[in-house]
């Protein structure tokens, strides 16, 4: 597994981001939130990931950029959890939603817990879809 976050994995499409906010499902593990939706099957990457930190909580761009860097780094280090367990492509937006200034280690453990919760939720939805089709 290579621990990189290349340009082709970054979520930049305004239409896809709009789709995430209108039709996406969400999973949370305080203070992190993950909004996701299934991507089109023709996409070349398994995961398209974007990060966001609200101006509501951090007024200074320096602070927002720091936490965005931390979120990207925790994703980069833990994306193998998602890549090994997902079969279909997903578009994902990753949010930091608190005024609290957590350390990197705390954010990293919350990210791992969030990814595990996300995988459980996708498994549940996949299982419910297969029972509906039967």
Write out pLDDT tens, residues 60-118: 999 999 999 999 999 999 999 999 888 889 999 999 999 999 999 999 999 999 999 99
Q: What is the CATH number of the domain that holds 45?
A: 3.30.230.10
| Percent residues over pLDDT 70 in the chain | 93
Can you spell out the DSSP letters for 87-125? Answer: -S-EEEEEEE--S----HHHHHHHHHHHHHHHHHHHHHH
Residue 106 makes CB contacts below 8 A (sequence gap 6+) with none
**Domain coverage including residue 99:** 7-133
**pLDDT score for 133:** 64
**pLDDT score for 112:** 96
**pLDDT score for 96:** 96
In a domain, residue 27? The reply is yes
In a domain, residue 32? The reply is yes
Most confident of 6-10, 92-96, 121-125: 92-96
In a domain, residue 58? The reply is yes
Q: Give the chain's domain count.
A: 1
Query: Does residue 32 register a pLDDT over 80?
Result: yes
**pLDDT score for 1:** 67
More confident residue, 42 or 123: 123
In a domain, residue 40? The reply is yes
In a domain, residue 91? The reply is yes
When pLDDT is cut at 50, 70 and 90, the band that residue 125 belongs to is: confident
In a domain, residue 54? The reply is yes
In a domain, residue 2? The reply is no
């Amino acid at each position: 597994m290579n621990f990189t976050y290349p340009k082709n994995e970054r979520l930049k499409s305004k239409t896809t981001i709009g789709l995430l906010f209108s039709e996406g499902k969400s999973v949370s593990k305080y203070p992190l939130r993950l909004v996701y939706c299934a991507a089109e099957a023709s996409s070349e990457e398994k995961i398209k990931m974007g990060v966001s930190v609200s101006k509501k909580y951090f007024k200074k761009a320096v602070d927002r950029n720091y936490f965005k860097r931390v979120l990207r780094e925790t994703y980069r280090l833990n994306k193998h959890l998602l890549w090994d367990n997902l079969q279909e492509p997903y578009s994902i937006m990753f949010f930091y939603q608190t005024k609290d200034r957590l350390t990197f280690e705390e954010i990293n453990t919350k990210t791992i817990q969030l990814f595990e919760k996300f995988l459980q939720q996708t498994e549940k939805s996949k299982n419910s879809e297969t029972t509906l089709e039967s």
